[in-house]
Chains A and B, each alone.
Chain A
Amino acid sequence: MLKYILKRVAAMALTLFIILSLSFFAIRLIPGDIAGQGAAPELKAALEARYHLDKPLLEQYVIFLKNFLSFDFGESINLYPRRPVFQIIRDKIPTTLQLNIFSLALTIPIGLACGIAAALKKNTWVDYAISAMVVFNVSIPSFVFATVMQYIFCYKLEWFPFLLELEDSSFSLSKFWSMILPILALSFGGISTITRYMRAELFEALNSEYMLLSKSKGLSKLQSTLRHALRNSFIPLCNVIIPMFMNLLGGSMVVENIFGIPGIGSLTSASIQTSDYYLTIAVLFFYSCISLTSMLLVDLSYGIVDPRIRIGGGKVRE
């Protein structure tokens, strides 16, 4: 297992390096002027010199790699001038994280419950209702949800505040109240995913022969479902749930914009639009790390959760 992990980490490092290099060159292709429109030409020249943009591309690349490997991620050029990139990302993560953790705490239980209900009551109205909800959630973009919810619940009904409460850094009830709508908006997509997966897996599990055996042993339907079907159907769910955990750090641009949440979500597009090279690369790198780590964890999870893989490479004895 350890050898496997080390191999994978090495592969990850290589992948990240390739991503980094590709991003570096790709970003230079984006049209845009770091000095902004109408800036004095001397300023433009000085800025370009400062950020090494006047040097040949390969030389820039070498400088960039050197800095990156010594953990100098540069500073933001336009978006948050002179602020170290690392600090920008680091400061935005807690807000996004807090919101996403709550969202996940909502998504997983509800998604599982809906999926189980739909599978147990397949082809009844419960199943149809849940499936309709899933299609609904998946088809309608999150910004439509968020905007509509804000319009109805904040403007028309005045039940919730429009924006996330930022005044107090400590956690209070009113702050939580203001988090409810964004949490809901973030959850819908995840709930649908988990429901679909769970429903499919559980349905397959319910129809397997070990369920028949279990029944023939004399276990009640509830006992069989709980003890056998559910355990079997949870295993493939790691595939879906672990990436969701990793996406805690990701943030949704749209929902954050609508509810005024100062999180990571809008960082990517904002940094690309303002030609903020260092910030863009750092953000892309950050997201790549998250993705690759989540993939690694998913693969490892199978090894841990599924005994067939954990033990199985081993001997099958007579």
Chain B
Amino acid sequence: MKIKRILALALACMMMLTACGSNETETETETNTTTENTQTETETETEEEEVEEYTGPKDYRGWTTSRATFNPQMYTNSKTIMNAGTLVAALAENDELVWYPHHASELPTTTDGGTTWTVKIREGLVWSTGTALDATDYEYTFKMLLDPKLVNKNAAYAYDPVVIVNAKEYSQGNANWEDVGVKLVNDHELQITLQYPASELDFYSMIGSLIWPVEEETYEACMNADRTSTTYGTTLDTTPSSGMFVVSEWVTDGYEKFVRNENDPLVKEGWVKLDSYTSRYISQNATRAEMFWAGELDNHSLTGDDYLQYKNDPRAHSLLSANVWGYFMNGASKNTIMQQKDFRNALHYGTPRETICEDVYKLYPAAPALISTGIYAGDGYYRDTEAGKAIAEKYATDYDKAVELFNKAYEANGGQPVSVEYIYFEGQEDQKRQAEILQEHFENLFGSDRFTLTLRACPPASAYDLYRAGEYDLGLGVRLMGNVFNPWSGLNVWKQDYADPYITGFASDEYDQLWFDCMYGDIATDTAAKVEALAKMEELLLDYGCFVPVMQNNNCVMYHERVELATENYLPFIGFSTNQTDLIAAA
């Protein structure tokens, strides 16, 4: 019957439409993959007039993707542990980063140029469970952190990049605890001995900020029979707090709530304005967007299209990423053209990074060099230094140079048409578009009769496996820079003796030596020299052509009008200093 046929046709059309439509909603994800977590940072709002001081409840409504555990020795996202204090705290004051003693009674001191450090602990500190917190807790913490049987993820914080004597050896079962450079002088004093001297900045930002204490009683109670595992921090009951906030509610994969800890010394000094901070676990970006615009969330991470619309809105604040994304180049590939250095350099100069950022990412700036603009070196951002600027200029995008270099490489390779394969991550719409732009651009630039770029999508894990095996030509990816204050440590991935390298064929003794000098050698505490060395290392890498930088994933966060951030600018290490956020109106 006619009606039935029309109905069937209409339904078929609807089905096809939803199939197309749903594809897009499913694959539109932020380029923030795997380990990079969007920070729930806060920022000051420039309000000219001082309105009547808001005295109502200040409960911040945030969001996050799920928390795996509250055990600070296992948890990898260091900056969002609001309920744990550390020896020192990095705080925002007058739009600058300052170091304040938190559990320590004064900033740790050294008398021998950075090898031996004295750490004094405040009197009267307590855990949320009521037990006292003193230097014995810290000694216990170090001991458990490095325990060879427990295999804690964050054990390396004690020996990389700042190396505590025999810490690594102890964690591998090759030394006794007595040999380790952590000594309890008395109940409120520790002495930490390093293998190599470290600067104040390094010590405060590493040992001072990334060693969160664990509460001994709970830790022991949660230990299993053969002491290989502890369930500390896996549920609310097993999570004692020692920081500016106390975790008061936690539903796994549901939400977590932090309440201001009136017993905390920094809280007593008035650094914390919020009454509570609630983070709901919301994994869908669409839901978060809707909730924010409905006024139910206090911050929201903008997507590319939103950014264009809101980038000049006073509520929008850009973050500085520590990482530069681009693609690896395998100079040791069987594909002979890849072995030509000129070809690799041509790819670097020829990459249309500005176009890609404008068209695809919109909110991410282009990056011509390997070190991001968020990396701090000594007393300023590295990219603002003379050396840093020079590198960026030298390696800026230059299509003419690209063609020139390509021609040379082409001839040297035998004048035959060449084809290389580019790998990107499956399921990421942005990366797919980037790949397509690269393909079209390069084939036009070099001539499609001479050069073809084939594209291949892989799941991220598979892609990285291919890089490890050296079975690729070009591959999208990033090597994460864990520490904004110590870029040299993050550059260890290019060393010849690095245990988990991606094959690029880069091997330079000069580079390795520079690295060692900066980390543990003569210039380890000489900022100026280290900056020069950093520039040289960057140059070596870009000159060889092991990685083409494309963009820096500076996300942009939009805040609710009632949010007043602690700092105007994005500060290194603490961003907008979440702990110090203030709320100036009701929800």
> Which residue of A37, A92, A262 has the most chain B CB atoms within 10 A of its CB atom?
A37
Indicate whether A162 sits within 8 Å of B255 (C-beta atoms), given known contacts A43-B155, A139-B18, A140-B18.
no
A158 touches B69 (CB 8 A): no
Say how far A151's CB is from chain B's closest CB, in angstroms.
7
Q: Which single member of B151, B155, B230 contacts A50 (CB below 8 Å)?
A: B151
A260 touches B287 (CB 8 A): yes
A155 touches B15 (CB 8 A): no
Q: Which single member of A33, A83, A154, A155 contacts B464 (CB below 8 Å)?
A: A33
Indicate whether A81 sits within 8 Å of B74 (C-beta atoms), given known contacts A166-B255, A262-B251.
yes
Give chain A residues whose Cβ lies under 8 Å from the Cβ of B499.
40-42, 44
Indicate whether A262 sits within 8 Å of B281 (C-beta atoms), given known contacts A31-B459, A83-B69.
yes
Give chain B residues whose Cβ lies under 8 Å from the Cβ of A84.
231
B383 at the interface (CB under 8 A from A): no
Give chain A residues whose Cβ lies under 8 Å from the Cβ of B308.
none
B156 at the interface (CB under 8 A from A): yes
Give chain B residues whose Cβ lies under 8 Å from the Cβ of A38.
35, 479-480, 482, 493, 500
B254 at the interface (CB under 8 A from A): yes
Alpha-carbon distance A289/B294, docked complex (angstroms): 43
Say how far B458's CB is from chain A's closest CB, in angstroms.
9
Indicate whether A46 sits within 8 Å of B35 (C-beta atoms), given known contacts A31-B465, A150-B287.
no
Give chain B residues whose Cβ lies under 8 Å from the Cβ of A33.
461, 464
Q: Interface size (B, Cβ < 8 Å)?
A: 63
Alpha-carbon distance A124/B186, docked complex (angstroms): 89
Alpha-carbon distance A29/B357, docked complex (angstroms): 36
B32 at the interface (CB under 8 A from A): no
Binary interface profile of A, 266-294, with partner B (CB < 8 Å = 1, else 0)? 10000000010000000000000000000
A31 touches B69 (CB 8 A): no
Q: What is the chain A residue whose CB lies nearest that of B172?
A: A42
Alpha-carbon distance A82/B11, docked complex (angstroms): 49
Indicate whether A41 sits within 8 Å of B500 (C-beta atoms), given known contacts A75-B229, A83-B231.
yes
A81 touches B68 (CB 8 A): yes
Indicate whether A80 sits within 8 Å of B252 (C-beta atoms), given known contacts A41-B499, A154-B290.
yes
Indicate whether A37 sits within 8 Å of B462 (C-beta atoms), given known contacts A47-B151, A81-B74, A82-B74.
no
A135 touches B11 (CB 8 A): yes
CB-contacts of B6-26 with A (<8 A): 7, 11, 14-15, 18, 21-22, 25-26
Q: Which single member of B155, B228, B462 contacts A31 (CB below 8 Å)?
A: B462
Alpha-carbon distance A84/B69, docked complex (angstroms): 12
> Which residue of B18, B287, B461, B462 has the most chain A CB atoms within 10 A of its CB atom?
B287
B216 at the interface (CB under 8 A from A): no
A141 at the interface (CB under 8 A from B): yes
Give chain A residues whose Cβ lies under 8 Å from the Cβ of B251.
166, 262
Alpha-carbon distance A260/B291, docked complex (angstroms): 12
Say how far B65's CB is from chain A's closest CB, in angstroms.
11
Q: What is the chain A residue whose CB lies nearest that of B249?
A: A167
Alpha-carbon distance A262/B282, docked complex (angstroms): 10
A163 touches B282 (CB 8 A): yes
Give chain A residues whose Cβ lies under 8 Å from the Cβ of B281.
260, 262
Indicate whether A81 sits within 8 Å of B22 (C-beta atoms), given known contacts A139-B15, A262-B254.
no
Give chain B residues whose Cβ lies under 8 Å from the Cβ of A258.
284, 287
B299 at the interface (CB under 8 A from A): no
A162 touches B291 (CB 8 A): yes
| Shortest Cβ-Cβ A-B pairs, 10 listed | A41-B499, A262-B253, A262-B254, A32-B461, A155-B290, A166-B254, A81-B74, A83-B234, A139-B15, A31-B461
Sampled A-B contacts (18; CB under 8 Å): A31-B459, A33-B461, A38-B480, A40-B156, A43-B153, A46-B171, A50-B228, A78-B68, A80-B234, A82-B232, A132-B11, A141-B18, A144-B21, A144-B25, A151-B286, A166-B254, A167-B255, A259-B287
**Chain A positions near chain B (C-beta within 8 angstroms):** 30-33, 36-44, 46-47, 50, 75, 78-84, 87, 91-92, 128, 132, 135-136, 139-141, 143-144, 147, 150-151, 154-155, 158, 162-163, 166-167, 257-260, 262, 266, 275
List 15 additional A-B contacts (Cβ < 8 Å) besides A40-B156, A50-B228: A31-B462, A33-B464, A42-B156, A42-B172, A80-B252, A81-B68, A81-B153, A84-B231, A92-B252, A139-B18, A140-B18, A154-B294, A162-B294, A162-B296, A262-B252
